[in-house]
Chain A
């Protein structure tokens, strides 16, 4: 991003090669050995034959990729996609008005703290809190029994709904924070201008605000979609067999069925989806922030808006 030549006085950088290589060596070496090499091994393993007790035999095959396509795995993949899209959509729909409200508030620090405290709480504790509420011996069942509404515990956990709920709970702050910081930079006089020209309140938000905070929406989308797509702990702890996700499948293939090539192949699919998502984000953000053509275009586009808004 920051090319050395771009900065003030950067011309001198050409002469300052040393000791940059020396300083960079430990980080480069560490991440090459303990991040990139493991990924490369995963790629290689996905094309090999499973060993008897884990590991691989060096006979090339495409079996792992054929296995992904079989109906059992296709079902898990479909479930993962549905849960990821559903939970991300719910998260964004809640997070947008939250970010908007926080950006317009005069007590931003306080509101930020209210969002951050649950966010700072340990990931497992947050999952556990929902087990303590929704479990058979949990808070909600206690309450329902005490009120005489039910005689036997209601089974709230271990289904797809519980997985979605806890995922939304876990990743809401990941969506609220980037949306808040993007909306906070938005020039709200544009909204007023649109309204003065006759746009409805909703019309002004949809046609003027949203296009201008596109980058924040995309960031929020990826911050929630990527970890949810690779979710492991949440479906493991509050899900049932029908709410299994790809992350659980990888773990099972790795530790129970001991089919390492298959575990590697599924990991690669997740890696690929993630990488494509991030590349799309970078492209879209590059278009809307570099020189701001997209942002300015939509701000100018506010002028013809009232006709549309008024016609409704």
Chain B
């Protein structure tokens, strides 16, 4: 059974690899961007799910950690010639001028920077519970954004950074997604995963069992922020421009949507949620473009996309609170039981 499952997993990864190879040769740039976005949103969804779904900490600060990651990575890979040209309002800080690393190193540093910021924030904030935690993390994420707007010598202020080399390709984003998936699955199967669930389901009981709940929550939060930073960095390298407006609270809302649609606390759910939400958000763009019915033209309605999006979010939370997967997970054994094969 175990060997069968390993072979199947290997085959699934191989199939994904084949699909990516086929896609990178045959699909146009718009499609490729969506497929890339699915992976990046899945990484971000997984990291938010670790904080919120697995550890039960309602955090609304993910956009801020993404911003940290995106800026760190971009500042490390933009060349110094570009930097000179870009900082118009104020000259760039001299120590930043010649900092340069490869893309992969910048990704890791982006994750570490976001994790460090998250760790610093978590120490005071995680003493709070429930929705106070949500508001406090939201506050920190706004503070990060305001700092980015104002620290012009480092971040180029509200102009943002342009011309980031488009390093994110399918192999990069799906490679990162596989690493994140592998890590999450191992983590949740480990004893730490059990501890996390215990803290989420009943913190007082967990504390009675001798678990240092604060330390566990800080660790989970920091790990989640690492994911947020890497996701933000990948996003910046995909879109090639970043500015502070990208990392407003709406960014956190779409991630929240992914996690809630997929199912809080389900790894499989976050992946499915990302596929659904990302494709839906792209597909909904049609309502904002003019539509032609033969000779009749219906003008596009700006803002309609987000109206539909928010109605769906409300409908899901009212009618199917547990999302697609609930807290269940996909496994090969479950797959064969459902399919009625190999009993």
Binding partners A and B: no
B-side residues, CB < 8 A to A, are none
